């Protein structure tokens, strides 16, 4: 085991990029909510509160994905938590909201990101294990 900093493996970078897209989608949803309020179609209070929560959450997701893409191990946990929360949203969309297509697609997307994060290479990288032959190649 080595403590040298190592760039994340390709599956982790793919998961980071996919989560970045989710973050952009969350920010876009917040902007759409604010536009609805400005247009006067909905009451301002609760909708602006929801938009504020979305901006905070998905803004943090965007920061975490950039950090994960750059190789910060601690950014993996917020990305995993985000996927689990969005998986719950997908479950709700599938069942209670009676939107099975949206729920299924959202759930599959979250599961794919989680699979990329939990590949063997991704887990080894997250735990800090470095193949000694790779360290020798870098020197």
Nearest residue to 122 (alpha-carbon basis) of 84, 71, 88:
71
Q: How does pLDDT run across 40-97, given as a tens digit for each residue? A: 877 888 999 999 999 999 999 999 999 999 999 899 999 999 999 999 999 999 998 8
**Spans of all domains in the chain:** 10-129
Mean pLDDT of the chain: 89
Q: How does pLDDT run across 84-121, given as a tens digit for each residue? A: 999 999 999 999 888 999 999 999 999 999 999 999 99
Rounded to whole angstroms, what are the CA distances from 35 to 30, 40, 117? 9, 9, 35
Distance CA 18, CA 116 (A): 10
In the structure encoding, which two tokens stand for residue 99, read together? 């939107």
In the structure encoding, which two tokens stand for residue 130, read together? 């470095």
Looking at residue 73, the DSSP 8-state letter turns out to be G
């Amino acid at each position: 085991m080595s403590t040298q900093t190592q760039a994340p493996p390709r599956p982790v970078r793919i998961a980071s990029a996919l989560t970045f897209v989710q973050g952009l989608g969350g920010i876009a949803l917040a902007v759409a909510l604010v536009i609805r309020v400005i247009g006067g179609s909905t009451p301002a209070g609760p909708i602006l509160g929801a938009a504020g929560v979305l901006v905070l959450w998905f803004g943090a997701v965007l920061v975490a994905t950039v950090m994960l893409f750059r190789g910060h191990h601690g950014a993996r946990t917020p990305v995993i938590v985000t996927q689990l929360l969005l998986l719950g949203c997908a479950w709700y969309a599938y069942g209670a909201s009676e939107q099975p297509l949206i729920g299924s697609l959202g759930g599959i997307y979250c599961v794919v990101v989680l699979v990329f994060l939990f590949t063997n290479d991704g887990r080894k990288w997250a735990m800090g294990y470095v193949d000694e032959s790779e360290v020798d190649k870098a020197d």
